[in-house]
Amino acid sequence: MDAAIKSIRPAKNNEPKKVETRVVETRPAELDPAEFLAAAVRADQPRPSRAEAEAAVLTLLSYIGEDPDREGLLDTPRRVVEAFDELYQGYHQCPAQVLDRTFGETAGYDDFVLVRDIEFTSQCEHHMMPFYGKAHIAYTPVERVVGLSKLARLTDIFARRLQTQEHLTAQIAAAIDEVLKPRGVAVLIEAEHTCMSVRGVAKHGASTFTSRFTGMFRDNPAEQQRFLSLVRGPNR
């Protein structure tokens, strides 16, 4: 992008005003395909044992001033580790496999497919606190389509990892774009972050919106606007 910066020094003897130009290179960051094509945890990757994980929970309980030996906390380390296994199961799942099976009986359908209001819960990588909301995903297929539930499952895989909302949005779009090779992908995510609503500035109800567009949605403002109109819809 070229930015023109004009001098405010008055010109002398009718000399032409000088214009200083500065070129700033801007390009979207590229995602490593390994982020969205394979499971995040390798089978041979060394990891702490369950006992070590439970011991870490005991340390945190002591840190906040609790007595880990009181009755109500005796089983808490086990419960916390089991909750982590559920909340972060996306590390062990492969996004590409979810999109692997497609269907060709579309009767020549050539418009975009939109799945709206996909509810999700994820965990902020900065504070390990939940953020939750809805994802809206559209893609324009080329001959073959993927099962509608697979877009929701894809969202869950990425959401069940430590995330930022911006990264989550980019990963979903990149996976669909890379695996399905559609004419375009549109992803809009709206979410509330508890690291902002229950701590820090404590602004309950504040929503964050992020979007990513590829192909025809990026290059055609009319298609982008049609997607946004359908997402918002009447009475929303």
Paired residues of 192 in beta bridges: 132
Please indicate whether residue 195 is annotated as part of the active site: yes
Predicted local distance difference test score (pLDDT) of residue 42: 81
Q: What does the DSSP assignment read for 13-33?
A: TTPPPPEEEEE----PPPPPT
188 shares a domain with 218: yes
Number of domains in the chain: 2
141 shares a domain with 204: yes
Predicted local distance difference test score (pLDDT) of residue 4: 40
Please indicate whether residue 126 is annotated as part of the active site: yes
Residue 123 dihedral angles phi and psi, to the nearest 5°: -125, 130
Residue 20: pLDDT band by 50, 70, 90 thresholds?
A: very low
**Catalytic choice (66, 94, 97, 127):** 127
What are 67-112's pLDDT values in tens digits? 999 999 999 999 999 999 999 999 999 999 999 999 988 888 889 9
**Catalytic choice (165, 171, 223, 224):** 165
Please indicate whether residue 136 is annotated as part of the active site: no
Nearest Cα neighbor of 136 from 182, 208, 190 is 190
Please indicate whether residue 92 is annotated as part of the active site: no
In the DSSP assignment, the letter for residue 68 is: T
Nearest Cα neighbor of 75 from 54, 50, 56 is 54
Q: Considering the domain boundaries, does residue 178 fall inside one?
A: yes
Domain CATH for 81: 1.10.286.10
Please indicate whether residue 165 is annotated as part of the active site: yes
Nearest Cα neighbor of 188 from 153, 226, 162 is 226
Residue ranges making up the domain that contains 55? 50-87
**Catalytic choice (93, 123, 124, 171):** 124
Domain CATH for 191: 3.30.1130.10
Residue 90, CA atoms < 13 Å, CB-side half-sphere: 25
The tokens for 35 are: 């982020």
Q: Considering the domain boundaries, does residue 228 fall inside one?
A: yes
pTM of the complete model beyond 0.85:
no
What are 139-150's pLDDT values in tens digits? 999 989 999 999
**Catalytic choice (123, 136, 193, 224):** 193
Q: Considering the domain boundaries, does residue 18 fall inside one?
A: no
**Average of pLDDT values for 34-38?**
76
**Catalytic choice (52, 82, 119, 125):** 125
125 shares a domain with 69: no
**Catalytic choice (89, 126, 204, 225):** 126
